[in-house]
Amino acid sequence: MSLLSLSVPRLAKVGPSKGRGPLLAKFAPVGFKKGFGAIGLGRHTKKGFFIINTMLVPMFKVPDLSNCKLKCYVAPDTYRIVQQSFNKRELDDGEDF
């Protein structure tokens, strides 16, 4: 087999008409960071544009809270719950389960 016959299937998948694919942090310029768990709102086109899918855009339905007695912040005079930390020696009473 010649070297040319091995490269023909590869060119069909990676050729110049296919573009360079998605930009990964490994091959990107210094300082490039990808997002961390952000939702995808659309897709990238072959020309580099981004098409937003309106079905994927979140719609928040917030109720009217103007007459609500509850407040969004915790009052500064609330009771503090102090939890004592334990280590293994204090908890171990020598019994095997």
Which among 42, 66, 38, 46 has a CA at the least distance from the CA of 54? Answer: 42
For the chain, list the strands marked E by DSSP. 42-44, 50-52
Where do the structural domains in the chain lie, given as residue ranges?
Answer: 39-79
Distance from chain centroid for Cα 45: 21
Average the pLDDT over 7-23 and give the result. 68
- Kindly give, in sequence order, each residue whose CB lies less than 8 Å from that of residue 95, ignoring residues fewer than 6 positions away: none
Among 23-27, 52-56, 58-62, the range with the most confident prediction by mean pLDDT is: 52-56
Average the pLDDT over 38-44 and give the result. 86
- Model confidence band, residue 50 (pLDDT cutoffs 50, 70, 90): very high
The single residue listed with the structure tokens 């995808």 is 40
Residues 64, 66, 72, 76, Cα dihedral to 10° = -170
